[in-house]
Amino acid sequence: MKLKRSKSSTEEVAITKDYPTSTAAPAKVDTIIKALSALESDIDSLSQNLADMKKQLNQKAQREIEKLTEQVSQMATKEAEAMISEAREKAKSESQRILTTADINLKDVQNKIDSKFNEAVEVVVSMVLKA
């Protein structure tokens, strides 16, 4: 680009652009077109590879999700089984304690009945004889 000054006294500046007079050779144009075509093919190939990689990544992520879901499920099952087992043991212990207490109370009642039986018989006999 060249700047030319006009010779007038107002000092105006005019801008002109010089274009090359020769044009690129057709062989160079063909080479550039082939290079651009190859670049476009490479970009398309990369886009396809990227799509395939995304698909594989999604599949792998899905497999990992399923694997982790299974692990969490197994852990939850084990924890639930442990809680149930603990509750079962507590219930057995409590029922054994209640059974022991009931046996003691039953023996107490039986002893009281046995100790008062003779006295009760005497009271009944004396009532019958008085009547």
Kindly state the average pLDDT of the residues 81-94.
97
Three-state DSSP class for residue 20: coil
Asked if residues 19 and 2 have their Cβ atoms less than 8 Å apart, the reply is no
Three-state DSSP class for residue 14: strand
Asked if residues 3 and 13 have their Cβ atoms less than 8 Å apart, the reply is yes
Distance, in Å, from the CA atom of 94 to the CA atom of 102, rounded to the nearest integer, reads: 12
Kindly state the average pLDDT of the residues 5-27.
57
Angle of CA points 72, 78, 83, to nearest 5°: 125
| pLDDT range class, residue 68, cuts 50, 70, 90 | very high
Residue 29 predicted with pLDDT over 50: yes
